Amino acid sequence: ILNNDEIDSLLSMEASINHLETAYGDLARGRAINRPRTDLYHTDPELDTVYVFKTMEGGSLETGIVALRLCSDVIRWEERKGAIVKEKLPIAPGNKWVGLVLLFSTKTAEPLAMFPDGIVQVTRVAATSAVAARYLAREDSSTLGLIGSGWQARAHVRAMCAVRPIDKVNIYSLTKANREAFAEEMQSEVNVPIIPVENPEAALQGADIAVAATNAISQ
């Protein structure tokens, strides 16, 4: 049983990218299996929120491990500066979200591990994007155009810097204070100039790689 801090100390972005590249190769060769996610929605007319129960599974014959991820969420759709966003609310005890990953052995059928999905999820999404960039982006790609300034945006900067020689990041998000704080924080972490810009077009101008890392569900 692991917590997010333990996972964060053990799981590097580089290792995540390499393991996911292997997993996608296994899937292409018929050596891995998965079930696409399902979402159960329950709406209470008296509330302005929606309950969502989400599950997904996947396994690899090479590793002998099957993983189940489940999320118990309360969400709300909000309009922010003309964009519709899906907000996942941290309303479990301790102001937390509820997401768990369970691992099982395909050899002995026994449970192997259980841990929260927070760090693993944000790392997995960014690492998957990095696998795509490794194969699809030019090897000399150096400018990253980024829309969004949350967890996923931070992970994507780390991931793209791991697979391409990124030497500049243009960052746009709806809130000026958020993108400026993001630029200050991440620039010191990855030692790459990160430039807040005033609109999404400016973020993407001259970009070799473009990343949308937001919770917006409309353009």
Q: pLDDT tens, 133-151?
A: 999 999 999 999 999 999 9
Q: What pLDDT was estimated at residue 167?
A: 96
Runs of H (alpha helix) within 65-206: 118-136, 151-163, 176-190, 200-204
Find, among 120, 121, 213, the residue nearest to 171 by Cα.
Answer: 213
Q: pLDDT tens, 41-57?
A: 998 778 789 999 999 99
Provide the token pair at 39: 């979402």
Residue 4 has pLDDT above 90, yes or no: yes
pTM (2 d.p.): 0.89
Sign of torsion over alpha carbons 68, 10, 159, 179: positive
CB under 8 Å to 198, separation ≥6 — which residues? 172
